[in-house]
Structure 1
């Protein structure tokens, strides 16, 4: 069920909105989305922690 929710979020929060035109755009967009999803976006099921914080125990610093 977790994976199904991830793919739904990815489609509705990124792919459908951005309408990527090339594989390179899609690749860069997916990379950015998964960084956001794992390191910045709090998850209700994880008591509003990011997956990275829940797994590693600390927040990661955002890089440029």
Structure 2
């Protein structure tokens, strides 16, 4: 969609015409690390086993499992 190589239209002008933010053109998403993916999987599964756990109990549970987590 946007041509980053030197052309007749600058990147700024292309973004203006397409109503895009220039920062979005250069943004490259970073992949999630393995620790985050593991924790997200646990967070998805645990409420199915103990739906009555609140945020404080979930925090204690994950800390008992050895994960460094905060309540939020």
TM-score w.r.t. the length of structure 2 is 0.30
TM-score w.r.t. the length of structure 1 is 0.33
Higher helix content, 1 or 2: 1
Compare CA radii of gyration and give the structure with the larger one: 2
